[in-house]
Amino acid sequence: MLLAVVAVQSARGATSGFTCALNGGVKDFSDSLCTTAVTEGTGEYGHVAVPPTTSTTTEALGSTVLKSTTGGVTTSFTATSIEGSGTIENLEPGGVAEATGTGTLTFRGMSANHECKVNGSSSANVTTVKLKTHTVESGLKLEPASGTKLMSFILSGCSIGALNREWTLGGSVIGTVNGAKVEFAHTATTVQGTLLFEGTIAAGLAGTMVLRGGNGNALAFT
CA atoms 96, 52, 18, 104: torsion sign: positive
Give the Cα separation of 88 and 102 in Å (integer). 7
- Residue 126 near residue 153 (C-beta atoms within 8 A): yes
Flag whether 15 is in a domain: yes
Task: Identify the burial level of 123 via C-beta atoms within 10 angstroms of its C-beta, where 0-12 means exposed, 13-18 middle and 19 or more buried.
Answer: middle
Flag whether 85 is in a domain: yes
Q: What global pTM score does this model have?
A: 0.88
- Residue 6 near residue 17 (C-beta atoms within 8 A): yes
Give the Cα separation of 1 and 58 in Å (integer). 8
pLDDT classification of 11: cutoffs 50, 70, 90? very low
Per-residue model confidence (pLDDT) at position 222: 67
Number of structural domains the chain divides into: 1
Flag whether 1 is in a domain: no
Find the domain containing 15 and state its range: 7-221
pLDDT at 192 over 80: yes
Flag whether 214 is in a domain: yes
Highest mean pLDDT of the ranges 11-20, 90-99, 153-162: 153-162
Q: Give pLDDT tens digits for 91-119.
A: 666 665 555 789 999 999 999 999 999 99
Per-residue model confidence (pLDDT) at position 213: 87
Per-residue model confidence (pLDDT) at position 36: 96
CA atoms 145, 195, 68, 184: torsion sign: positive
Flag whether 100 is in a domain: yes
For residue 118, give every residue at least 6 positions away whose Cβ sits within 8 Å of its Cβ, in sequence order, or none.
77, 110, 111, 112, 124, 126, 153, 154, 155
Flag whether 2 is in a domain: no
- Residue 119 near residue 154 (C-beta atoms within 8 A): yes
pLDDT at 189 over 70: yes
